[in-house]
Amino acid sequence: MTNLPTAPHVPSSAPGRPVALVTGASSGIGLAIAEQLIADGFLVFAGARRLDRMAGLAARGARLLPLDVTDDASMVAAIAAVSAEAGRLDALVNNAGYGSYGSIEEVPIAEGRRQIEVNVIALARLTQLALPMMRAQRRGRIVNISSMGGRISEPFGAWYHATKFAVEGLSDCLRMEVKQFGIDVIVIQPGAIRTEWSGIAQASLLEVSGSGPYAGLAAPHARFLAVGDSGSASPPEVVARTVSRALKARRPRTRYPTGANARTLMTLRRLLPDRWFDRLMLALSRRMGRSA
């Protein structure tokens, strides 16, 4: 496959300027990706529910899209806006998602469904909407932000990990289907990253399982999740640079582990038997929970 168009800093009407749509662009990893792609010379369409949080992106030339990935009409409108202004889409970065934690027994089933809706169904639907444009131009790259959690597991993260395992499988199937149209599918697997994610996961874990039968394990694991707020976690710019590298590569890899602990933990998961890895994760949870 030929490389994406070069990305000089030229007006958006210039035919060679590549176009990217980034979801969940109002904070954290999505914001960092949008900023990086603007710097790389992309015309960036930044999608999120909170437009006020993307004022800085607008000032740098991004096009802001009011995008709610749980609303089909909102996703249809976002792709239509990209098509109307740019006429093409070179890169779709499916970043929107969240992690809500708690024991399987105690998490309300409605919350499990919502997490699947946001992290998996919305990603698939936006991909469906973007593919006709990419097929017509016979090129494009779909970047799905997964997680090391799409390869490993931990207590209390069942719904989150289930969605990321699903993103990994969906991406593998999609990659084979769209290869014939010159479209690449790339999975990014962040490790521990300093974003709002860890705070949301901690809060939900304590709310759901902080008392009751699972409290003895939930409390230290909530502190374990705080690694995402610590100096040992990587900044979101690490993920953004990885996305940039994948989009610039002539032949991108199918997967890019990136950030703190990603390669180490995924390698251990591949090498260790299931019960050994279970013991490792439980030991890490308890030990790091005590020291946090």
The answer to whether position 99 is within a domain reads yes
Domain span holding position 37: 19-196+234-260
pTM, two decimals, is: 0.91
For the chain, the domain total comes to: 1
**180 part of a folded domain:** yes
Residue 221 confidence (pLDDT) above 60: yes
Q: What is the mean pLDDT of residues 192-205?
A: 90
Residue 36 falls inside a structural domain: yes
CATH number of the domain encompassing residue 158: 3.40.50.720
Structural domain includes residue 191: yes
Query: Of these residues, 101, 160, 214, 256, which one is catalytic?
Result: 160
In a domain, 270, yes or no: no
- Is the predicted pLDDT of residue 1 greater than 60, yes or no? no
Does the annotation mark 160 as catalytic? yes
SS3 66: strand
Own/partner contacts of 104-110, CB < 8 Å, gap of 24 or more, are 104/158, 104/159, 105/213, 105/214, 106/208, 106/209, 106/212, 106/214, 107/158, 107/159, 107/208
Taking all residues of the chain, what is their mean pLDDT, rounded to a whole number? 92
Is there a domain that residue 88 lies in?
yes
Asked whether the predicted pLDDT for residue 118 surpasses 60, the reply is yes
d(CA 52, CA 242): 27
179 located within any domain = yes
Residue 159, domain member (yes or no): yes
Average confidence (pLDDT) over 32-38: 98
